[in-house]
Amino acid sequence: MITDAEFLRIELEMGISLDNPAFLQLGAATAKQLSDLPVRTVLDFGAGTGVYSDAFHKAGYDVKACEKFQSHIEYMKIRVPHIDILGNAITTDLLVFIETAEHMTDKELDALFKQIQPSYILFSSTSQRTENDEAWGHINIKEQSEWDAYFLNKGYQLIRPLAYPTNWSKLYGKG
């Protein structure tokens, strides 16, 4: 398993950063596609480099971030100091849950959704298995239909597929 500092270094080299105009545009498009929702507060859980947090902030939302990797927290504190970084998840109108669930066990996911009940979830998680899954900490890769069933079990219905940020992005709503 790679360290959190190495994880950040690799992400930055891949362009997952606040210095990559294309990634910033992806963040802005991701936030814009949800402008029709009655959402004011956002929690970016597993915020990484803070690009999505910043994009939602720029779109006018009240944004909080939750990130466990110290290297990412330090990066965000310097690069997006206007984003509040929390130690624990809180309930908000929208949970931004992008490429994080595959790093969590079902037990950890269950604990998260017992703790918080957002109205909406912007969800994206890979269903593709690769030889690098172990190194990247991908411990919970599910087929998209399995994620749909998981969220339905938690009281969330699929509202619609989303164009951004990935091909497997979806919007779920409390039903």
Residues 166-174, mean pLDDT to the nearest whole number? 95
pLDDT tens per residue across span 18-39: 999 999 999 999 999 999 999 9
Residues 6+ apart with CB under 8 A from 99: 46, 48, 124, 125, 126, 166
Which amino acid, 27?
Answer: G
For residues 56 and 63, the answer to whether their CB atoms sit within 8 Å is yes
Per-residue confidence (pLDDT) for residue 11, from 0 to 100: 84
Percentage of the residues of the chain whose pLDDT score is greater than 90 = 74
pLDDT tens per residue across span 75-109: 999 999 999 999 999 999 999 999 888 768 889 99
Per-residue confidence (pLDDT) for residue 102, from 0 to 100: 79
CB atoms inside a 10 Å sphere around CB 134: 11
Per-residue confidence (pLDDT) for residue 27, from 0 to 100: 98
Question: In this model, does residue 165 exceed pLDDT 80?
Answer: yes
In the chain, domain spans: 4-174
Residues 162-167, mean pLDDT to the nearest whole number? 94
Percentage of the residues of the chain whose pLDDT score is greater than 70 = 90
How far from chain centre, in Å, is Cα 90? 14
Between the two ends of the chain, the Cα-to-Cα distance in Å is 37
Bridge partner residues of 172 (DSSP): 121, 158
Domain 4-174 -> CATH class: alpha beta
Question: In this model, does residue 74 exceed pLDDT 80?
Answer: yes
What value does the mean pLDDT of the chain take?
Answer: 91
Which amino acid, 134?
Answer: E
For residues 100 and 66, the answer to whether their CB atoms sit within 8 Å is no
pLDDT tens per residue across span 113-157: 999 999 999 999 876 656 664 655 554 567 789 999 999 999 999
